[in-house]
Amino acid sequence: MQVEKSRMSRTTLTPVALVLATAAALALAGCSTAPRPTATGGEVSSMQPTAHATRTQGPVALLVPLTGPYGAIGQSIEKAVKLAFSAPGAPRLDVENTGGTAAGAASAAHNAIGKGAGLILGPLTMAEARAVTPIAQSAGVNVLAFTNDDSVARPGIWPLGISPDQQVGRVVSYAIESGRTRTAAILPDNLFGRLMAAALRRTTARLGAPPPHIGYYSASFSSLNATTRSISQFDSRGAGLMSRIRAARDEDSAAGRRLAAKLRSEPVPPPPFDALLLGATSEDLAELQTFLPYYEAGPPQVQLMGPALWSSRARAMATHEVLRGAIYAAPDPSAGLPFNQKFEATYGGVTPPSIDKVAFDAAAISVLAAHEGGYKTSVLTASSGFSGTDGPLRLLPNGHVERGLAVFRIEPNGPKVVSPAPQTLPSPAPSPNA
């Protein structure tokens, strides 16, 4: 079913602007002078598939763990959401405690829907989101979840966390567009690694690059060593050189011995890739600092790439020569400063965790939607998207989310932006049935 095309008001709803701007800035008529999610106006997306929420009015329900192991995170999220709901004309906010469990999230969703919720913000985790999905869909209520696992994405259910697909798509696209077209990956054999691999395959296919070589390793030194050796094809690369060394030695002459010594100083031919995606973030990364040079599969002939988690480790990574110059995609920290400052000023100097920005964006989008006449799918999936605390984002009708991320290079003086985050996202491809 194709979405009916309609017009949204031209707006710049940045989540931060919802809080930092005056009531006039929320008149949904024009521009904003402060960073904010913004509905940036434009036609409703005509991309397939679509789903129409049947309940688009009423209070907004926030589903978060206020108790249990994630209680502190949930309480901080609640504070961030309430910042957005302090804007003039915001709808009523009902907060439901999930306790951090799937069963608790399901119960919270039933409670919220029973109270008339027209939109759900949260829950926090993948397991909770999966529990809430059938309940919300059967009630015709849209969900802006906080997880970054886009396997929960479907019409009416949007995971707003920065996903492996978004991170990998951006950094690999940058590498390929920079001429590094032959890709490979060394990834942990877990859900995160599999999601990174799927994103790598999609990105190379979309850009017409050769299919990537992908290797997985388990949580052991020997497995990571074997995977690095295999993916780099070290044995076959060095076979020709070793045979030449043996032949020179077998001559049993002074000239042969000199040639063998010279050949031993020659480098092994380069690996069959020039860009390598790594999923390692801690101990595995320390081991790779040894394996990559040993198997001659690192810089300068190979561009190393990694996940957004590297942003918190970039300075420490820069102390290791093999990791200098590695790149990763993540939000530009400067984009989130206005939100951080507002949060700290409101709540006593406490720096908010990154998840609070995701929650704030979801809340700000819900306030905008309320001003636009309800939490309709057509409003949430405006093709121009929103200007969020961490940069532009767009909700697609199929439940996936696009984000504008920056690309950083690890350097001794701190990470350097080598490709800035876009101010707006490119227009989505139209549906073939449009």
The pLDDT score that the predictor gives to residue 242 is 61
310 has a pLDDT exceeding 90: yes
Q: Domain check: are 243 and 300 in the same one?
A: no
Query: In 71-190, where does DSSP find H-type helix?
Result: 71-84, 102-114, 126-139, 164-177
Q: Calculate mean pLDDT across residues 71-81.
A: 98
Is 419 a domain residue? no
Distance from C-alpha of 128 to C-alpha of 124, rounded to nearest angstrom: 7
Q: Domain check: are 279 and 219 in the same one?
A: yes
Last residue of a domain, one of 330, 346, 370: 330
Distance from C-alpha of 367 to C-alpha of 388, rounded to nearest angstrom: 13
The pLDDT score that the predictor gives to residue 38 is 47
Q: Give the highest mean pLDDT range of 12-16, 261-265, 382-386, 423-427.
A: 382-386
Tokens 């439901």 identify what position? 96
Angle CA 185–186–191, to nearest 5: 95
DSSP state of 96: E
Q: Domain check: are 137 and 88 in the same one?
A: yes
Burial of 283: CB neighbours in 10 Å, binned 0-12, 13-18, 19+ = exposed
Q: Residue 223 is part of which domain span?
A: 165-233+271-330
Q: Which has more confidence, 146 or 16?
A: 146
Q: Calculate mean pLDDT across residues 225-246.
A: 81
Number of domains present in the structure of the chain? 3
The pLDDT score that the predictor gives to residue 381 is 95
The answer to whether the predicted template modeling score (pTM) of the entire model surpasses 0.85 is: no
Is 375 a domain residue? yes
Q: Are 85 and 363 in contact (CB under 8 A)?
A: yes
117 has a pLDDT exceeding 60: yes
Write out the two tokens for 424. 């707006």
Share of the chain above pLDDT 90, in %: 72
The pLDDT score that the predictor gives to residue 34 is 31
The pLDDT score that the predictor gives to residue 20 is 34
CA distances from 239 to 224, 225, 229, 262 (A): 22, 19, 14, 16
Query: In 314-388, where does DSSP find H-type helix?
Result: 314-317, 337-347, 354-371, 377-380
Q: Domain check: are 131 and 224 in the same one?
A: no
How far is Cα of residue 108 from the mean position of the Cα atoms in its chain? 27
Q: Calculate mean pLDDT across residues 75-82.
A: 98
Which residue in 160, 210, 212 sits closest to 187, CA to CA?
212
The pLDDT score that the predictor gives to residue 265 is 63
Share of the chain above pLDDT 70, in %: 81
Is 420 a domain residue? no
The pLDDT score that the predictor gives to residue 243 is 61
Q: Domain check: are 263 and 278 in the same one?
A: no
Q: Domain check: are 133 and 86 in the same one?
A: yes
Q: Domain check: are 324 and 176 in the same one?
A: yes
Q: How many helices (H) and strands (E) does the chain have?
A: 14, 17
Band (pLDDT 50/70/90 cuts) for residue 103 is: very high
Q: Calculate mean pLDDT across residues 396-423.
A: 96
The pLDDT score that the predictor gives to residue 33 is 28
333 has a pLDDT exceeding 60: yes
Is 278 a domain residue? yes
Distance from C-alpha of 194 to C-alpha of 214, rounded to nearest angstrom: 10
The pLDDT score that the predictor gives to residue 25 is 28
The pLDDT score that the predictor gives to residue 430 is 55
165 has a pLDDT exceeding 50: yes
DSSP-based helix, strand, coil % in the chain, nearest 5: 40, 15, 40
26 has a pLDDT exceeding 70: no
